[in-house]
Structure 1
Amino acid sequence: MVREEVGDKCFCILIDEARDISKREQMTNILRFVNNNGILTERFFAIKSVSDTTSLNLKKEISNVLVHYDLQVKKIKGQGYDGASNMYGEWNVFQTLFLRDCPYVYYVHCFAHRLQLTLVSAAKDVSVIWEFFYHLDNIVNIVTSSTKRIAELHIVQRNEIEHMLAIGERDSGSGANQIGNLQQAGATR
């Protein structure tokens, strides 16, 4: 489907990597292109588990994904990712590795990531917000340091979901109402 939409047109790649709940590194690949109607289109086209997040391995993995979809690397005209040290810079990083194959590819820093960092920076000057996240970090540390407390949290979540389903405040369905885990707050979370 994606291959037919892109055709022989140029495209941009948007890449992000993150660790999933099972602590495996995942690389998300999004394709950005102008469709046949002249509309800028973004399509999620792959997610890959990667054990090695070095820039060289990430380039190899994205190149493999492009080959799988029969998309030519030389058709890349733009690349976008966050500012992680293995992604952006001039010394043997992901961006530079693609520039060797496509010397006219431009780079755009991920705007969502940039906005998040701006909000974090602005929040540091608001003591109420800063104290909230300080206390939230302490609560997460206390709960996640004990398997008993995690189990208790899951029981409370399950009971709350069952109650909300019973009174009609939540809908049921495939993938809905899953019990989550706590994660530490961070500059990009």
Structure 2
Amino acid sequence: MAVVLRYLDKVELVKEKFVGVVHVTDTSSKTLKYSIDSLFDQHGLSMEKVRGQGYDGASNMKAFYVHCFAHQLQLVLVSVARNHTGVGNFFDMLSLVVNVVCASC
């Protein structure tokens, strides 16, 4: 599970910060809550200051879906790759290279 915090800075600009990746054994709400609480404790954060929550892909929590910056970037890349063959070919080739590297000893 990847955890990203979205907050307003001192001049009220929206910021997103990657907090960390936590291994979870399942995606039940109890397991996810425990993992988030543990991560907050590690970073000295308090759930009492949280004003809203959004979950991406956590349909079992029945939460409001919020697109984060990473998903917006992914949507842009997919759109560009579909409309420009050179970009599409680059990502196809990149995918093949990654597969070969990951499969090699």
TM bracket (short chain): 0.5 to 0.7
Contact 1:80 1:110 in 2 (8 A): no
Matched pairs, number: 102
Matched with 1:59 is 33
- The answer for unaligned runs of 5 or more in structure 1 is 1-16, 18-26, 97-105, 148-189
The 5-angstrom pairing of residues 31-110 of structure 1 reads 32-33=7-8, 38-40=10-12, 46-47=19-20, 49-56=22-29, 57-66=31-40, 69=44, 71-73=46-48, 75-80=49-54, 83=56, 85-86=57-58, 89=59, 92-93=60-61, 96=63, 108-110=66-68
Distance in 2, matches of 1:70 and 1:139, equals 40
Q: Give the letter aligned to residue 123 of structure 1.
A: A
Q: CA RMSD in A?
A: 3.4
TM-score (ref. length: structure 2):
0.61
Distance in 2, matches of 1:43 and 1:117, equals 18
Query: How many Å apart are 1:48 and its aligned residue?
Result: 5.4
TM-score (ref. length: structure 1):
0.40
Q: Give the letter aligned to residue 12 of structure 2.
A: L
Query: How many Å apart are 1:143 and its aligned residue?
Result: 3.4
Query: How many Å apart are 1:55 and its aligned residue?
Result: 4.6
Higher-Rg structure is 1
Distance in 2, matches of 1:126 and 1:43, equals 30
Higher helix share: 2
Identity %: 32
Q: Deviations over 1:6-39 (max 9, x none)?
A: xxxxxxxxxxx3xxxxxxxxx33436255xxx43
Q: Deviations over 1:63-108 (max 9, x none)?
A: 34445636244x4223345x4x22xx4xx32x63xxxxxxxxx764
